[in-house]
Structure 1
Amino acid sequence: MINLQVRHESGTVLAGSGHGVAWDESLAEIDRSQFPMLAGVCPFADTVFNTWQLPMLVEELDRLPAARGGPWVDAVRALCRTAEEGSHRYVWFVGD
């Protein structure tokens, strides 16, 4: 399970989510040409998105087929909004 967080650049966790991202075929086999941000998420390490990348990430979530989604999609959207509310904030996908 990949956990989700918003962290300040100092490392302080500002928000988290009760919904994680299950690493299964729905993300492991995602089309890199259509979903480059989501395809970059690594289940074995941390993946970090900065404020410049968040709009692209949200746009990909909006296009994600329902079969590949789940509660984690809304959780990521909410964390992106939280990250955009202040400076030096990042959305973290925390891998194993």
Structure 2
Amino acid sequence: MSITRTKTTLLGLALAASMGLGVVVGFSMPDDDLFELRKSLRIFGAVYEEVVTGYVERVDPTHLMEVGVDAMLEELDPYTVFVDESENARLDMIT
């Protein structure tokens, strides 16, 4: 794996972890915690936008987000996964 790809993957993981932390714990939080959640999401969005628009090499924003989401959920436990629309349709068909 190239250094650039490794850096992109690590950045995606870091972004996903910060986003995941905010999303997972954000729904039943006191105001102080909600403030922290919003702050984390603003930081995540700013970093994500900067990477997608300003990175030295072209970055696929969809792939970067998928890598980040997958890493975030993997951090929770080995069973929680994100099922996108195409996979969901296929799952609906076979179940």
TM-score norm. by structure 2 comes to 0.33
Structure with greater proportional strand content? 1
TM-score norm. by structure 1 comes to 0.33
Larger relative contact order, structure 1 or 2 (CA cutoff 8 Å, min sep 6): 1
Question: Quick check: which has more Rg, 1 or 2?
Answer: 2
